[in-house]
Amino acid sequence: MKGSIRLEKKEGIAKICFGHPQGNSVPPELLDQLAKLMVQTENDTAVRVVIITSEGEGAFCAGASLHALKEVKTLEQGTAFFMGFARLINTIRKMTKFVIARVHGKVVGGGVGLVAACDFAFASEKSAIKLSELSIGIGPYVIEPAVSRKIGVTAFTQLSLDSKNWKTASWATEKGLYSHLSKDTEALDAALNEKASLFASYAPGACKALRKLHWKNTDHWEELLPKNAEITSKLALSDFTQNFIKSL
Protein backbone atom coordinates (compact mmCIF):
# COMPACT_ATOMS: atom_id res chain seq x y z
CA MET A 1 0.00 0.00 0.00
CA LYS A 2 2.09 2.90 -1.31
CA GLY A 3 -0.67 5.48 -1.12
CA SER A 4 -1.66 8.13 -3.64
CA ILE A 5 -0.75 11.67 -4.55
CA ARG A 6 -2.07 14.22 -7.02
CA LEU A 7 -1.32 17.75 -8.14
CA GLU A 8 -3.92 20.31 -9.16
CA LYS A 9 -3.21 23.85 -10.42
CA LYS A 10 -5.61 26.77 -10.75
CA GLU A 11 -5.09 30.53 -10.92
CA GLY A 12 -1.52 30.42 -9.68
CA ILE A 13 -2.27 28.07 -6.79
CA ALA A 14 -0.97 24.50 -6.77
CA LYS A 15 -2.61 21.94 -4.49
CA ILE A 16 -0.75 18.74 -3.62
CA CYS A 17 -2.98 16.11 -2.01
CA PHE A 18 -1.57 12.86 -0.61
CA GLY A 19 -3.39 9.89 0.82
CA HIS A 20 -2.80 6.53 2.43
CA PRO A 21 -5.27 4.01 3.88
CA GLN A 22 -3.28 3.85 7.13
CA GLY A 23 -4.22 7.25 8.53
CA ASN A 24 -2.52 9.14 5.68
CA SER A 25 0.83 7.84 6.87
CA VAL A 26 3.70 8.45 4.46
CA PRO A 27 5.92 5.52 3.44
CA PRO A 28 9.22 6.36 1.71
CA GLU A 29 7.78 6.19 -1.80
CA LEU A 30 5.07 8.70 -0.95
CA LEU A 31 7.52 11.06 0.74
CA ASP A 32 9.73 10.90 -2.35
CA GLN A 33 6.81 11.73 -4.63
CA LEU A 34 5.75 14.60 -2.39
CA ALA A 35 9.25 16.10 -2.48
CA LYS A 36 9.39 15.74 -6.28
CA LEU A 37 6.05 17.52 -6.71
CA MET A 38 7.28 20.33 -4.47
CA VAL A 39 10.26 20.75 -6.79
CA GLN A 40 7.93 20.65 -9.80
CA THR A 41 5.78 23.45 -8.43
CA GLU A 42 8.88 25.45 -7.51
CA ASN A 43 10.06 25.27 -11.12
CA ASP A 44 6.64 26.16 -12.55
CA THR A 45 6.56 29.93 -13.13
CA ALA A 46 2.75 29.85 -13.29
CA VAL A 47 2.56 28.67 -9.67
CA ARG A 48 2.64 31.38 -6.98
CA VAL A 49 1.50 29.43 -3.89
CA VAL A 50 1.54 25.75 -2.90
CA ILE A 51 -1.05 24.08 -0.64
CA ILE A 52 -0.35 20.71 0.98
CA THR A 53 -3.43 18.72 1.95
CA SER A 54 -4.45 15.09 2.43
CA GLU A 55 -7.32 12.75 1.63
CA GLY A 56 -10.45 12.02 3.64
CA GLU A 57 -11.93 13.39 6.82
CA GLY A 58 -9.81 11.47 9.35
CA ALA A 59 -6.18 12.13 10.18
CA PHE A 60 -4.20 14.71 8.26
CA CYS A 61 -1.00 12.66 8.59
CA ALA A 62 -0.02 9.73 10.81
CA GLY A 63 3.67 10.31 10.13
CA ALA A 64 6.17 7.76 8.88
CA SER A 65 4.79 4.33 8.02
CA LEU A 66 5.62 1.89 10.83
CA HIS A 67 4.70 -0.99 8.55
CA ALA A 68 7.34 0.19 6.07
CA LEU A 69 9.77 0.51 8.98
CA LYS A 70 9.40 -3.25 9.55
CA GLU A 71 11.45 -3.79 6.39
CA VAL A 72 14.45 -1.88 7.77
CA LYS A 73 17.23 -4.26 8.82
CA THR A 74 20.46 -2.23 8.56
CA LEU A 75 21.76 1.18 9.53
CA GLU A 76 21.95 2.19 5.86
CA GLN A 77 18.36 1.15 5.20
CA GLY A 78 17.19 2.97 8.32
CA THR A 79 19.03 6.16 7.44
CA ALA A 80 17.51 6.07 3.94
CA PHE A 81 14.07 5.54 5.50
CA PHE A 82 14.29 8.58 7.79
CA MET A 83 15.92 10.69 5.08
CA GLY A 84 12.47 10.90 3.47
CA PHE A 85 11.34 13.59 5.88
CA ALA A 86 14.79 15.20 5.87
CA ARG A 87 14.66 15.67 2.10
CA LEU A 88 11.08 16.91 2.18
CA ILE A 89 11.74 19.48 4.89
CA ASN A 90 14.88 20.73 3.15
CA THR A 91 12.99 20.90 -0.16
CA ILE A 92 10.28 23.07 1.39
CA ARG A 93 12.88 25.16 3.21
CA LYS A 94 14.64 26.10 -0.04
CA MET A 95 11.52 27.02 -1.99
CA THR A 96 10.85 30.61 -3.10
CA LYS A 97 7.05 30.32 -2.94
CA PHE A 98 4.86 30.30 0.13
CA VAL A 99 3.67 26.86 1.24
CA ILE A 100 0.38 26.46 3.12
CA ALA A 101 -0.72 23.38 5.06
CA ARG A 102 -4.41 22.44 5.15
CA VAL A 103 -4.73 20.41 8.35
CA HIS A 104 -8.21 18.93 8.67
CA GLY A 105 -7.49 16.25 11.30
CA LYS A 106 -5.00 14.74 13.74
CA VAL A 107 -1.26 14.93 13.10
CA VAL A 108 1.37 12.52 14.41
CA GLY A 109 5.17 12.40 14.33
CA GLY A 110 6.67 13.35 11.01
CA GLY A 111 3.38 14.93 10.02
CA VAL A 112 3.99 17.57 12.70
CA GLY A 113 7.36 18.24 11.07
CA LEU A 114 5.70 18.64 7.69
CA VAL A 115 3.23 21.19 9.07
CA ALA A 116 6.04 23.03 10.87
CA ALA A 117 8.00 23.33 7.62
CA CYS A 118 5.12 25.16 5.94
CA ASP A 119 4.88 28.95 6.05
CA PHE A 120 1.24 29.07 7.10
CA ALA A 121 -1.00 26.34 8.50
CA PHE A 122 -4.79 26.34 8.60
CA ALA A 123 -6.34 23.80 10.96
CA SER A 124 -9.69 22.65 12.28
CA GLU A 125 -10.49 21.99 15.92
CA LYS A 126 -10.06 18.26 15.19
CA SER A 127 -6.36 18.78 14.42
CA ALA A 128 -4.79 17.54 17.65
CA ILE A 129 -1.08 16.73 17.52
CA LYS A 130 1.26 14.17 19.04
CA LEU A 131 4.96 13.29 18.80
CA SER A 132 4.81 9.57 19.55
CA GLU A 133 8.45 8.73 18.75
CA LEU A 134 9.72 8.37 22.33
CA SER A 135 7.03 5.81 23.13
CA ILE A 136 8.36 3.49 20.40
CA GLY A 137 12.02 3.89 21.36
CA ILE A 138 13.19 6.58 18.95
CA GLY A 139 12.94 10.38 18.89
CA PRO A 140 11.79 13.19 16.58
CA TYR A 141 15.37 14.08 15.64
CA VAL A 142 14.83 14.72 11.93
CA ILE A 143 11.88 17.05 12.39
CA GLU A 144 13.12 18.74 15.58
CA PRO A 145 14.78 21.72 13.86
CA ALA A 146 11.59 22.53 11.96
CA VAL A 147 9.29 22.05 14.96
CA SER A 148 11.50 23.94 17.43
CA ARG A 149 11.89 26.78 14.92
CA LYS A 150 8.11 27.06 14.77
CA ILE A 151 6.98 26.54 18.38
CA GLY A 152 10.16 27.03 20.43
CA VAL A 153 12.32 24.65 22.45
CA THR A 154 10.12 24.64 25.55
CA ALA A 155 6.97 23.64 23.67
CA PHE A 156 8.92 21.06 21.66
CA THR A 157 10.22 19.56 24.91
CA GLN A 158 6.69 19.27 26.30
CA LEU A 159 5.41 17.75 23.08
CA SER A 160 8.22 15.24 22.63
CA LEU A 161 8.21 14.05 26.25
CA ASP A 162 4.43 13.69 26.45
CA SER A 163 4.60 11.13 23.65
CA LYS A 164 1.46 9.15 24.45
CA ASN A 165 -0.94 12.05 24.88
CA TRP A 166 -2.54 14.43 22.40
CA LYS A 167 -2.11 18.19 22.50
CA THR A 168 -5.22 20.03 21.32
CA ALA A 169 -5.44 22.10 18.18
CA SER A 170 -5.85 25.14 20.44
CA TRP A 171 -2.56 24.31 22.15
CA ALA A 172 -0.85 23.96 18.76
CA THR A 173 -2.27 27.32 17.69
CA GLU A 174 -1.19 29.06 20.88
CA LYS A 175 2.36 27.72 20.40
CA GLY A 176 2.51 28.88 16.79
CA LEU A 177 2.32 25.63 14.83
CA TYR A 178 -1.05 26.59 13.37
CA SER A 179 -1.52 30.09 11.98
CA HIS A 180 -5.33 29.93 11.86
CA LEU A 181 -7.81 27.71 13.69
CA SER A 182 -11.35 27.10 12.42
CA LYS A 183 -14.34 25.36 13.95
CA ASP A 184 -14.77 23.02 10.99
CA THR A 185 -13.36 22.26 7.54
CA GLU A 186 -15.86 24.50 5.79
CA ALA A 187 -14.64 27.54 7.71
CA LEU A 188 -11.06 26.30 7.32
CA ASP A 189 -11.32 26.17 3.54
CA ALA A 190 -12.94 29.59 3.32
CA ALA A 191 -10.12 31.18 5.30
CA LEU A 192 -7.43 29.20 3.48
CA ASN A 193 -8.70 30.04 0.00
CA GLU A 194 -8.84 33.71 0.84
CA LYS A 195 -5.27 33.73 2.16
CA ALA A 196 -3.91 31.63 -0.73
CA SER A 197 -5.39 34.04 -3.27
CA LEU A 198 -3.86 36.95 -1.38
CA PHE A 199 -0.42 35.31 -1.34
CA ALA A 200 -0.73 34.54 -5.06
CA SER A 201 -1.32 38.23 -5.77
CA TYR A 202 2.01 39.30 -4.29
CA ALA A 203 5.10 39.98 -6.43
CA PRO A 204 7.15 36.77 -6.81
CA GLY A 205 10.41 38.61 -6.20
CA ALA A 206 9.14 40.05 -2.93
CA CYS A 207 7.87 36.63 -1.81
CA LYS A 208 11.22 35.04 -2.60
CA ALA A 209 13.14 37.67 -0.65
CA LEU A 210 10.79 37.53 2.34
CA ARG A 211 10.83 33.76 2.46
CA LYS A 212 14.63 33.79 2.45
CA LEU A 213 14.49 36.14 5.42
CA HIS A 214 12.05 33.86 7.25
CA TRP A 215 14.42 30.91 6.77
CA LYS A 216 17.67 32.65 7.64
CA ASN A 217 20.30 30.67 9.57
CA THR A 218 18.99 27.29 8.37
CA ASP A 219 21.49 26.46 5.60
CA HIS A 220 23.24 24.03 7.96
CA TRP A 221 20.13 21.83 7.86
CA GLU A 222 21.58 20.28 4.68
CA GLU A 223 24.07 18.48 6.93
CA LEU A 224 22.11 18.45 10.19
CA LEU A 225 18.99 16.59 9.03
CA PRO A 226 20.92 13.68 7.43
CA LYS A 227 22.92 13.32 10.66
CA ASN A 228 19.69 13.24 12.63
CA ALA A 229 18.31 10.62 10.24
CA GLU A 230 21.28 8.39 11.07
CA ILE A 231 20.77 8.90 14.80
CA THR A 232 17.13 7.87 14.43
CA SER A 233 18.13 4.84 12.36
CA LYS A 234 20.44 3.59 15.12
CA LEU A 235 17.65 3.87 17.66
CA ALA A 236 15.17 2.17 15.32
CA LEU A 237 17.44 -0.89 15.25
CA SER A 238 17.47 -1.19 19.05
CA ASP A 239 15.83 -4.19 20.70
CA PHE A 240 13.17 -1.96 22.25
CA THR A 241 12.01 -0.52 18.93
CA GLN A 242 12.36 -3.77 17.01
CA ASN A 243 10.18 -5.58 19.55
CA PHE A 244 7.61 -2.79 19.38
CA ILE A 245 7.45 -2.93 15.58
CA LYS A 246 7.11 -6.72 15.61
CA SER A 247 4.12 -6.38 17.92
CA LEU A 248 2.17 -4.31 15.38
pLDDT tens digits, 142-172 = 999 999 999 999 999 999 999 999 999 999 9
Strands 13-19 and 4-10, by their bridges, are antiparallel
Is pLDDT of 246 > 90? no
Residue (of 37, 39, 47) closest to 6 by Cα position? 37
Instruction: Name the band, by pLDDT with cuts 50, 70 and 90, for residue 1.
Output: low
Is the separation of the CB atoms in 151 and 121 below 8 Å? no
Residues 54-80: what's their mean pLDDT?
94
- Predicted TM-score (pTM) of the model is 0.96
Q: What are the angstrom distances between the C-alpha of 60 and each of 75, 109, 114, 242?
A: 29, 11, 11, 26
What pLDDT is attached to residue 248? 80
Task: Mention every residue, 6+ apart, whose C-beta is less than 8 A from residue 119.
Answer: 98, 99, 100, 211, 214
Is pLDDT of 67 > 90? no
The residue count for the chain = 248
For the chain, the straight-line distance linking the first and the last C-alpha, in angstroms and rounded, comes to 16
Q: Is 212 exposed, middle or buried (0-12, 13-18, 19+ CB in 10 A)?
A: exposed
CA distance 167 to 170: 8
Say whether 54 sits in a helix, a strand or coil: strand
Q: Indicate the residue type of 163.
A: S
Is the separation of the CB atoms in 18 and 54 below 8 Å? yes
Strand stretches in 75-204, DSSP E: 98-103, 107-108, 120-124, 129-130, 180-182
4-184, which class in CATH? Answer: alpha beta
Q: Which neighbouring-strand residues pair with 67?
A: none
Is the separation of the CB atoms in 40 and 23 below 8 Å? no
Residues 61-70: what's their mean pLDDT?
92
Is pLDDT of 46 > 90? yes
What pLDDT is attached to residue 156? 98
Is pLDDT of 90 > 70? yes
Share of the chain above pLDDT 90, in %: 95
φ, ψ at 142 (rounded to 5°) = -65, -40
What pLDDT is attached to residue 247? 86
Is the separation of the CB atoms in 65 and 26 below 8 Å? yes
Q: Hey, how many other C-beta atoms are within 10 angstroms of the C-beta on 47?
A: 18
Q: Is 134 exposed, middle or buried (0-12, 13-18, 19+ CB in 10 A)?
A: middle
What pLDDT is attached to residue 200? 97
Q: Give per-residue pLDDT as tens, 128-141.
A: 999 999 999 999 99
Q: Hey, how many other C-beta atoms are within 10 angstroms of the C-beta on 91?
A: 18
What pLDDT is attached to residue 160? 98
Is pLDDT of 196 > 90? yes
Is pLDDT of 6 > 80? yes
Is the separation of the CB atoms in 77 and 69 below 8 Å? no
Residues 229-240: what's their mean pLDDT?
96
Average pLDDT of the chain, as a whole number? 96
CA distance 109 to 62: 7
